[in-house]
Structure 1
Amino acid sequence: MSQPSRLEKKAQDCIDRGEFYEAHQVYRTLYFRKTQQEQYDDLLQILCNGSKKLGDVKEALSALDLAELYAETLLKSKTEPSEKIFEQLSSVGGYISLLLQLCDPSFPIPSADSLNKFISTCVKWSQTVASRRRERKHGLSELHYVIAQAFLHHRNYVNARNHMLFADHPEEFAKLLHTIREEGGSKSSEAEIFCVLPFLQMLTTVWIFHKITGWAGPIVKLLAMHRVHTASKLLTAYLAILNESPSCNGCRQELFNFLKMLCSALNLHDVRFAYSKQVPVKVIKFVQVKLFDHLVEAYKPHLDVDPTYHSYLEKIGQIFFGNPPKNKNDSFGGLFGNILKGIDLRVLGEKKEEDEIFSDSDFEAGSIHTGRSETEDAYETAEESEMTECDRQNPPPKRATEEIFDDLD
């Protein structure tokens, strides 16, 4: 890196003399000058150093302000994510290290609104530079993992769990769920409820986790986002932890068994499996539908413990098995409607585009609370507010089916 400029030396002198406000203003001056000159590489390094130095002296708001400028610079310059960039962010105290520092229990965390703006900008940047379809929609998985770790260090388990849903670290997610279970003082017989919702939610791509109260089930959430493989790994890791924990003796297995069989049913959707076994796809679909319906009916007494489970399962049935939505507004009435209700459209060939089914899944195309939690605001801003009505009404052409399976977890 080039030698420190005169203004950088002046900022350091201000910090040494305890003139933190003046140092902050010097860094902001550097930000405007470097931005005007489009010297983004130098600017990122300067803001990283400045945010870390101000954080070290407990100037939380000033440090966060520079971190926000850092994130805005990333967004404006569209800096590509790379090993070098992430290494820089971690080693020199960029926005990731700053967030970890701000979430240290001994360091007072700024207001929720300030932190939300910072996280929202980071997610926007990661969406613009992501290459995987899911990450273009929700942000880089590695970014979510680091943010989740930051909230975990601050014992903010709600936001940590929400971000961990979008990180490809199912083993770490399982440890977090186990920590939540232990610190929540649950009984050993209640261990299953902590894993169910996240598991299902990975399969539906619906942003409703902020509405869920209690700690029941990250595994349900993973299925809701179409991430079958990740959800399966989460379930396996969580069960392994329970088996090694003396406090979990006598844990009930009904819902765990249900999730295992649900994953088996979902794996039948893999077209490559059908081709490898030379089984007609219609036969696979028929078996799938019947298996799913039977599973839900057989385990209904256990699923009834939380009405939320049925909401996710209904969505999963629509996405993966072609189930029609419940008749809130039945457009067909009288005899004709009754006739249609007697026909199993799923088996007779109602077609759902493969690209639609796996639009946010493990099979996608591409190369890699308080009240309303910060994640909801961030994602709503990033993926919806910038879409025009024209974009929503005229989606891009569907990709070919054979391109869907090149982005497994």
Structure 2
Amino acid sequence: MEHENGATAVNRIEKKLRQKLDEGDYYEAHQIYRTLYFRYVAQKKFDDLIDLLFDGASSLLKADQIASGIDLSILYVDTLTKYEEKVIDEKVLTSLDSLLSFMKPVSELAANKEKFLQESVKWSASKSGNVRGSPELHAKFANTLWKQKEYSQARRHFLWSNDALNCAKFLVDYHTTQGSKDESDLFIAQATLQLLVRKNIQMARAVFSDYLRLHPTFADQSSSKPPLATPLLDFIYFVLESIDRQTTQANRLQIYTILIEKYQSSIDRDPSYKSYLDKIGQIFFGLPQPKPKSGGFLSNLLNDLMKDDDDEDGEDAQDDNKEKNKTNAGLPTVVQDGTKPDTTKSEMKPKLREEELD
């Protein structure tokens, strides 16, 4: 009898809810949804609650009740978290992305929207086994945020996604609409380095290649291999090639070090590159962790390998020939011939600063 009374009470509340929605009394409707949330959680009626909250959040968001809609969206994710038996599947991922797509950008509610994104990714991480969240969910969020012109947020999710092609298309759009002409190589260089720091070699290669193919500045190039449009692009290409080079660890380390030395002026265009290159060296080229209170590991390493170098480029002709003879078999052809890359063009500090790695 108690169960019937409880069910009757819920039915009465749901009827009142539909009435409030029809009347456009969204504040009262929001409060009723929250009341039902607590009742359904207490009764562990998670399947019903998931459907109820999705419908409620969607209705409020479509009615431009953005704050209330985001609140119910967060409760939707909270219900997924409480429902331990709930598995991650395409239907849930699509539902989360649909809710995001209804959230019109409102600056005052940016923190609320960010909480929804974070909680969604956190839940997907607990179900997918990927500590950074489901790559599929990141891809959905990234593409939706891109459509909403939320470029910084979209970029972050693209770099944790598995959608290389759309990531490259996004970066092209990001640069052409938000960056300056001279930053075309900076946008792809930073993204590629960050993907390598995240150990996503396959996506780094695909994004780099697709970006050069799709970007109007580089699309007319006859070859996808060096010499490319800028020395920085040549450097990124050689780093990607060096990761899988079939040679000894010591030789690969020498190749990596010489590449950094030769392209130093291009690397200096963005101060963040040094940190990324330190990490990439540790992950792929056998560099040890930096010593505490050192002047920077790459600086110390270069000093050790090029002990007598005092000029700005870090090596004189004699030392360059000496190093070249040691490692010639494993070097890319542009490095083998000892030719200094053309870095005389104006090297500008990027105007658009990206977020730090998580």
Q: Any unmatched runs of 5+ in structure 1?
A: 90-94, 201-220, 269-273, 275-282, 331-340, 343-370, 380-409
Letter in 2 for 1:254: P
Counterpart-to-counterpart distance in 1, 2:156 and 2:92: 25
Counterpart-to-counterpart distance in 2, 1:155 and 1:247: 28
Counterpart-to-counterpart distance in 2, 1:191 and 1:171: 17
Q: Cα offset for 1:372?
A: 11
Residue in structure 1 matched with residue 135 of structure 2 by the alignment: 141
Residue in structure 2 matched with residue 295 of structure 1 by the alignment: 259
* Alignment counterpart, residue 265 of structure 1, candidates 233, 242, 252: 242
Letter in 2 for 1:234: V
1:60–1:109 contact (8 Å) kept in structure 2: no
Structure 1 residues 196 and 245: CA distance shift in structure 2, 3 A: closer
Counterpart-to-counterpart distance in 2, 1:98 and 1:20: 17
Q: Any unmatched runs of 5+ in structure 2?
A: 1-9, 295-303, 306-352
* Alignment counterpart, residue 231 of structure 1, candidates 180, 204, 211: 204
Letter in 2 for 1:300: Q
Residue in structure 1 matched with residue 128 of structure 2 by the alignment: 130
Residue in structure 1 matched with residue 65 of structure 2 by the alignment: 59
Residue in structure 1 matched with residue 186 of structure 2 by the alignment: 193
1:190–1:251 contact (8 Å) kept in structure 2: no
Letter in 1 for 2:93: F
Give the total of aligned pairs: 289
Describe the superposition over 1:214-244 as per-residue Cα deviations: whole angstroms up to 9, x where unpaired.
Answer: xxxxxxx111111111100000110111258
Relative CO higher for 1 or 2, CA cutoff 8 Å, sep ≥ 6?
Answer: 1
Residue in structure 1 matched with residue 334 of structure 2 by the alignment: none
Letter in 2 for 1:83: E
Matched residue of 1:138: which SS?
A: coil
Residue in structure 2 matched with residue 84 of structure 1 by the alignment: 91
2:185–2:233 contact (8 Å) kept in structure 1: yes
Counterpart-to-counterpart distance in 1, 2:91 and 2:147: 25
Residue in structure 1 matched with residue 333 of structure 2 by the alignment: none
* Alignment counterpart, residue 161 of structure 1, candidates 155, 166, 173: 155
Counterpart-to-counterpart distance in 1, 2:354 and 2:280: 24
Computing the radius of gyration from Cα coordinates, the structure with the larger value is 2
Counterpart-to-counterpart distance in 1, 2:23 and 2:122: 37
Q: Does residue 42 in structure 1 map to residue 78 in structure 2?
A: no
Match runs of 1:2-13 below 5 Å: 5-13=11-19
RMSD of aligned Cα (Å): 3.0
Q: Cα offset for 1:10?
A: 2.2
Describe the superposition over 1:224-271 as per-residue Cα deviations: whole angstroms up to 9, x where unpaired.
Answer: 111111100000110111258779999823222222221121124xxx
Describe the superposition over 1:74-120 as per-residue Cα deviations: whole angstroms up to 9, x where unpaired.
Answer: 11113211123334x1xxxxx4212211136xxx4652221222222
2:46–2:83 contact (8 Å) kept in structure 1: yes
Letter in 2 for 1:101: F
Structure 1 residues 171 and 160: CA distance shift in structure 2, 3 A: same
1:14–1:22 contact (8 Å) kept in structure 2: yes
Counterpart-to-counterpart distance in 1, 2:123 and 2:150: 24
Structure 1 residues 181 and 112: CA distance shift in structure 2, 3 A: same
Letter in 2 for 1:311: S
Q: Does residue 73 in structure 1 map to residue 79 in structure 2?
A: yes
* Identity level (%): 31
Output the TM-score relative to the length of structure 1. Answer: 0.64
Structure 1 residues 8 and 267: CA distance shift in structure 2, 3 A: farther
Counterpart-to-counterpart distance in 2, 1:150 and 1:240: 23
